[in-house]
A = this chain, B = another copy of it.
Amino acid sequence: MPVIEKTTAKQKFMEFLTKKNLRVTSQRQAIIDTAFGTDEHFTADQLLEWSRDRDKSVSRATVYRTLPLLTESGLVREMDFGKNYKFYDPNYAEHPNHNHIICQDCEKIVEFESEKIAKLEDEISHRLGFSMKTQRLQITGNCEELKKLGACKKKSC
Contacts and interface: CB of A to CB of B under 8 A. Distances in A.
In the complex, which range does the number of interface residues on chain A fall in? 20 to 34
Interface in A20-69: none
Contact of A130 (B114, B117, B121, B142): B142
Given A103-B130, A117-B121, A138 B139 contact: no
Interface string A73-107: 00000101010000000000000000001011000
A8 to B, nearest CB: 26
A131 B112 contact: no
Given A104-B133, A121-B137, 6 more contacts: A101-B132, A130-B142, A134-B139, A135-B138, A135-B139, A137-B137
Interface of A: 78, 80, 82, 101, 103-104, 110, 112, 114, 116-117, 120-121, 124-125, 128-144, 147
